[in-house]
Structures are given as structure tokens and as C-alpha cells.
Amino acid sequence: MEVIVLGALVFGIAYAFTHRGSNRTAIDDWQPAHPKSVSERGSDTRHMGSRAQHAAGVQLARVEGRQLMRNEVFIVAIFMSIAILLIFGLVWASDNLGANNSWRYWLALLPVFTLPFAGMTLVAMNLAALRARREGTEELFDSLPATATTRVVGHLGSVWMALVVQIVFVAATFASGRLLTNHFGAIDAASIGDIMVSFALVACAGSLAVALARWLPNPLVALVAVVVLAIGGSAIGGIGGHHWSLTRQLSIWPRYPDHDWAFAVRPSWWHAAYLLALALVVAVVAVARQRHDRFTLLLGVGAVSLAGLAGYVQTRPMTDADAERIAAMISDPVAHSSCRTKDGLTLCAYHDYADITKVWARELTSPFAAVGPQQRAGGFAVVWHEPRLDRLDPAVRELIDIDALTTSWTADSANWNGVEVDGTESNLINRLALGLWSVDLPSVPAGDAPCWAGGQARGIVALWVAAQGMNDDDAKRFVSGTWSGLRDSDSGSNVPPEWIDGYLWIRDATPPVLWSAADIVAAQTILTLDATFVRDTLWADWQRWSDPSATTEDLMTELGVVPAGGRSAIPAGLVACR
């Protein structure tokens, strides 16, 4: 229904554009000094030369667009976009191999990455629109046949150059994503909508720049507007915090929910339509400074209606069908996943993210190959699921039993990899889960507390297995627990500081296992030994080294290494892993 209404509105606006000549009342910039002249102006009808004015507006847009490329502020804006692309698109993205590096996530961030460029475009175009006033050419221009409205249209049209730059930015994002980083997953309609949103933001900035120049002709106003938009947009866009809120769609940049967006219906196309309608509203406001005729009024009414319709549609709750579809995906991830199995290693991710299993396979092949053959024969699986259930859309939450689902995952022997962790952590967690599984240590906590593996040889074996395939530096960082982000003081983990003797390897959750500091040193030591020698030693009696009774000292002695220290005492409140 809304599409029909939208179509009617767009048709109406287009019709008004193409049939506006006969009823036009154009008002130029003749500045009368008394009311009598104002009333005389009102009688101006059937303004001639509209075609020439239109052509002049187009030419002016071309000229102003080219001038925009010489504007220092705009040039800075371009360099900012390049910097953003380099920092986030290449450096950051190449270091992230998880869900945050999916095309869906990446393209949804595109509007946010566009904001600095849009803000600077607003300032640059505002300066251009104020140029005649600033440099004293207004009097000359007032004596020329192009009306003030034509000049405004020319300035509005100069946004084409900013849109061309944005096209280049989007193309560069795609190219870098394809060629230099590990973006993966589907580019769905909502993602295309996100790209449209980024263009709509630039269009909004251009319209607002000209409108401000016409109504509040002071360059400082544009700067203030940027600040106000940043604060206001952020406030509205963040309504609801971590939880789902549709109201934030009314912001120019809504913050999408913290859970994976495969489980959200993102109305990005409607948001793009909403922003374009706002751009049109503001453009009409700019034109209305000089021209207040029926055409302008109709255009304004059409634009406001369009903005209202798009605003309404994008804040509608999701349909029952969508809620059921998402709830089914949440409840049964495997049924909605693409799985790959090779030599007993099974990796499953939702269909849209199937490509990430290739990354996982690269990471886990070496550790899996280091596991004792007997254990390996049983197979190991990683299944990707969404753990942030409390942040889902209410319509979805109503359809699932969060407690039951969490309990079932905890009790399940599969290795569940939640997508809340970013790429690096995701891979490390997979490695650790595999290492723990290889020696029968739990990969999920048995209760509210982790178990204590201090002094158990299998804890060291788990770390050795998990670090296989890494280079020496990465292995050392990994086993020391100093990998960026893995041992944040503000990690929000449920583990009391007095329990942490080894390292903490997961955030926002209770880890299944804790190590002693002495065992960490021991693990680092055996990682310096020849891998084949260690593997052969372990494989010779894998069952022994998987048993809780085998101690760190036993293992070190077997490998011919002097143990680093004595057995650490079990911290109060913990029990040894069984």
C-alpha cells in the first residue's frame, strides 16, 4: 500500500515539474522599498524565459560543481574520506575476520563513514552559496537576467560533484573490500539501501547548505548546523541504547541494533527515501526565500508528504512473517546454516555468512591436525549463533524462549561461536574451543564459575593445540593472554579478579576454564620446542595427556624440559576441572 502511495507522490511531484509553466509565478530579486511594490510583485505572472532559466540553472550547477572541487573545505572533506577508507576500510577491516567484516555490516557503516564528508560538504556548499554576498557580487548578479531562484537551483544542483565523489568513495570501498580485505557474505537489498542512504545524506547536506545560506546568511551558521545535527542525530539515533527502537529511524543516522543484522528487518530503502524527501523539503525551503508561488507550495507539500510517509513506514514494527522467520533462525541455527566438513572438522554459519567458514577453516586446520588421531576421529564442530537474545526486536523475542535456548546451547556438546565477538576474537575462541575439546576440557562453563585447570597437563596441551599454525609472535601473545582486547580490565567478564592467575580469554561471559600462571609459562616453553617432537610425544599417549591426573610436571619431564614452578593452589571458590 505504502509503495502505491509513494508512487503516487513521486508521480505527482514529477508531474508538477513537467507541467509547471502555465501557472508559474516567478518572483525575482527586485527589492522593493515599500509595500506597494510588494503588491506589484504579486501580479507577476507568466514569466517568460523559463526554459532559458532552467538551462542557466543547469549550467550554473555544472560551474558551481567544478568550483566545489577548488574549495579548500571540500578538498579537506575528500582527504577525510580517503583517511576513513584507509583507517577503517583497509587497516581495521583487514585485521577483522569476523562478523564485523561482513558486507552487510560494512555497508551499513557506509552512511556513518559518509557523515564527515557530508558535514564538510555542507560547510563547503554553504560557503559557495554565500560567495556572492561575501565578495560583493550580489548587486551585479541582481542586474542579470538569471533570477535568484535560478541561482539557488544552480547552487543546489552543484551537489552533483559531491555525489560523484561519493560514488568514487563507494567504489573504492568495494574495491578495497574485494581486493585487499576479507569482506564476506551477501549484499542484500537492505545493504544496497544503505548505499543509497549514504548518497541521500550528501544530498541532504547540499540542500541544507543552500537553505541556510538563503535564510541565515552567515558562514558560522553552517558550522553550528553541523554540530547541532551531530548531537541531535546521535541523540535520536541512539534512542533505546543497546535495545531495539524504531524511533531512531527518524534520525539522519539511526544506530542499528547490537545483535547481528541478519536478525533485523532494516528499512534502509525507506530511510533513503526519507532522507531524500527531507533533502527535497529543505531545497524547497531554500527556493521559497525568493519564490512563493503555487508550484513551490505544491512541491513543498509533496516533499513533506513523502517524508512523512517514509518516516511512518520505516518506523513500523516488523511483520509477523518476518518475526517468525527470524525466530526460526535464532532457535535452530544449524537448519539455517551452510556447513562445510573436512576430515571431521565441521564449520557452520548462517547462509549469508557462509564465506566466513573458509576463514575459520584456514585458522582451524593446523590445530585440528595436531589433535591426537583418536580424539580427532570423533569430529569437531563450530556452529555460529546469535547470543544477544535480549536485544532482539520485541516481536522476535516474543516468539522464542530465551532461557531455554541458552540452557540448551550450554548443555550442548557442540562448540557455539557467538557473533558478538569480532573477527580476531572469533578465531581465537574457535582455536581455544578446539584445544579444550581435544583434551576433554569443557568449552562452556558448567555453572556460574569456570573450572580450574592449573597444574593439569591437559590445560597446557589445550593451549599448545590451539596455537598451532600461528607464527611465533602470535603464538606467544596468544598463550600469554595479551592479545589485544582479550584481557581488558573492563571486559565485563563475570570472573572475579582474584581468580585470574593465568589469563582471561573471553569477554562478556563466564569462561569455562582458568589456567595458572605457571602453566602459561610451561605452555610458552613447549611452544618453543620442535612441533613434530611435541606432537609425536603427545600422540604416543594422547589419552594420558587428556586425563586430569597427568600433571604439568609429568608433561614437562616427558618433553625433557625443567618445570618452571610448582603447582599453583586452587583459588577459593573454584573447583578443579574434571
Q: Which residue has the cell 568514487?
A: 168
From 134-142, 184-192, 329-337, 562-570, span contacting other proteins (CB under 8 A): 134-142
Closest CA to 516 of 571, 472, 554, 466: 571
Cα 117–422–80 angle (5° rounding)? Answer: 15
> Does 59 contact other proteins by CB under 8 A?
yes
From 144-152, 307-315, 445-453, 457-465, span contacting other proteins (CB under 8 A): 144-152
Q: Which of 138, 188, 258, 422 touches other proteins by CB under 8 A?
A: 138
> Does 77 contact other proteins by CB under 8 A?
no
Cell representation of residue 443: 568449552
Least separation in angstroms between residue 174's CB and other proteins is: 33
> Does 294 contact other proteins by CB under 8 A?
no
Q: Which of 1, 3, 22, 139 touches other proteins by CB under 8 A?
A: 139
Phi, psi dihedrals of residue 418, rounded to the nearest 5°: -75, 145
d(CA 243, CA 131): 45
> Does 289 contact other proteins by CB under 8 A?
no
Least separation in angstroms between residue 70's CB and other proteins is: 6
Q: Closest CB to other proteins among 128 and 526?
A: 128
Cell representation of residue 290: 525568493
Q: Closest CB to other proteins among 43 and 413?
A: 43
Beta strands in 257-392 (DSSP E): 337-342, 345-350, 380-385
Beta strands in 202-354 (DSSP E): 337-342, 345-350
d(CA 375, CA 202): 57
> Does 32 contact other proteins by CB under 8 A?
yes
d(CA 165, CA 175): 15
> Does 311 contact other proteins by CB under 8 A?
no
d(CA 391, CA 147): 54
Q: Which of 9, 13, 26, 313 touches other proteins by CB under 8 A?
A: 26
DSSP-derived secondary structure for 451-498: EE-TTBHHHHHHHHHHTTTS-HHHHHHHHHT-STTTT-TT---SS-GG
Least separation in angstroms between residue 148's CB and other proteins is: 10
Contact of 2 with 273, CB cutoff 8 Å: no
> Does 48 contact other proteins by CB under 8 A?
yes
144: CB partners within 8 A, 6+ apart: none
Q: Which of 144, 402, 404, 569 touches other proteins by CB under 8 A?
A: 144
Bridge partners for 345 per DSSP: 342, 380
From 30-38, 74-82, 357-365, 513-521, span contacting other proteins (CB under 8 A): 30-38
Q: Closest CB to other proteins among 151 and 266?
A: 151
Q: Which of 77, 122, 129, 146 touches other proteins by CB under 8 A?
A: 146
> Does 95 contact other proteins by CB under 8 A?
no
Interacting residue ranges for other proteins, rule: CB under 8 A: 26-28, 30-34, 37, 40-41, 43-44, 46-49, 52-53, 55-56, 58-60, 63, 67, 70, 131-132, 135-147, 150-151, 154
